A = this chain, B = another copy of it.
């Protein structure tokens, strides 16, 4: 937790917050902070700044906060991800958030096990927890938008074209014969397949919508590493 993220409910005055639970514990036990210490804070979907501790007890943490710095710029990459297994989903959502990705679309694919769509992690409260954890790690405040499309074809044919307007679509796919660089663009939609990859029918449908393949090297990477590698290669920094 490199940033204490503040929510509307935390404020009891325009510049005063009271935190309990997980964040109070973290400040107490990990930061080992005390009254007068200044912590990095950020308002959810708002600005970054500093919180000065005015009270810290076993029950609560009270801070006077001043948030006047902009959140970091979003990544130029939006993510389209074949739903991974639950454990990987959690880590991938956190990591995608730390990379500054602001739109994440979870889609089906032939190699996505049907049971993955039943995971309790897919409810919006749990997803939001992972996104918040990512924001706290990377010191950002802007929650990514996460959408789910449990049918591949309707997604690829009816939704993806709208997402691609003004952006270059890229499919990271280990088995495709393709160039190692994507066409230069200032905004990308990056599709990452499931373990085992998209099937040829799916790759072709994505390419039909104007996406281009991107090869990440000759090794088969796990979902999280493939995403991080591709984002790094597409980002100007």
Contact = CB atoms under 8 A, between A and B. Distances in A.
Interface of A: 2, 72-73, 95, 98-100, 137-140, 180-181, 215-222, 224-225, 228-233, 235, 237
A13 to B, nearest CB: 30
B98 A225 contact: yes
**Smallest CB-CB A-B distances: 6 pairs:** A138-B219, A232-B232, A229-B232, A228-B228, A180-B237, A72-B218
A73 B180 CA distance: 15
Copies of this chain, tallied across the complex: 2
A181 B231 CA distance: 15
21 contacts: A72-B217, A72-B218, A72-B219, A95-B225, A98-B220, A98-B221, A98-B222, A99-B219, A99-B221, A99-B229, A100-B217, A137-B220, A138-B219, A139-B220, A216-B237, A217-B235, A224-B225, A224-B228, A225-B228, A229-B232, A230-B232
A21 to B, nearest CB: 22
Given A225-B95, A225-B98, A232-B229, A220 B138 contact: yes
Nearest to A71: B218
Contacts of A73: 218
Given A99-B219, A232-B233, 17 more contacts: A72-B217, A72-B219, A73-B218, A95-B224, A98-B221, A98-B225, A99-B225, A137-B221, A138-B220, A139-B219, A215-B237, A216-B237, A224-B224, A224-B225, A228-B232, A229-B229, A229-B232
